[in-house]
Amino acid sequence: MRDILRRRVSNSNNLQEAIDEFIEELNETELGTASADSQKTLITNILKTHDLRVSDVMVPRADIVAIEIGSGLEALRDVFKEDQFSRFPVYKGQLDNVVGILHIKDVLACFLEQRDCELSTLMRDATIVSPRLPVMELFVTMRQEKKHMALVVDEHGGIDGLVTINDIVEA
């Protein structure tokens, strides 16, 4: 597939034109299996993100579900049960002060091992990105660093939103 796109780019005057032609060709191809069709959809969606910025696909600040670092285990359980996400930003005091990302599997592992489960020991580092960052650049970075969530921060250091790898793929 990479070779096909390379040939199109070398025969075309413009990358966007080559991508559009490739997407059109993909859409006309009948692959037959559900797996092949989902791969075709994934490739098409990724190629369409060429002109998108993080601000185009992010979850806005008002819709972020986050956890205060001082939250007890009961509050954590309630958040996990109600929202059913796998990752949550953890903040101290206010949302603009994110101190890490909490993954539900780290919490579950802690419970199963019957260890002391303090949020500060379970958090992972948060990835911070600009809302102007090209989506494709973020996608590549997230894949390389094996990150699934990034916080979108404006020029003043305030949280604008968050973006997940799923948000990018579904864009």
**Amino acid 119: pLDDT:** 83
- Enumerate the H helices of 12-162 as residue ranges: 15-28, 34-48, 54-57, 73-83, 104-112, 119-122, 135-145
Phi, psi (rounded to 5 degrees) for 102: -105, 125
Lowest-pLDDT range, 36-50, 113-127, 148-162?
36-50
Q: Please give the mean pLDDT across all residues of the chain.
A: 82
Using 50, 70 and 90 to split pLDDT, how confident is the model at 8?
Answer: very low
pLDDT tens per residue across span 64-97? 999 999 988 778 888 888 988 999 999 999 999 9
Q: Is domain 55-169 given the CATH code 3.30.479.10 in the classification? A: no
**Whole-prediction pTM:** 0.72
CATH 3.10.580.10: which residues of the chain? 55-169
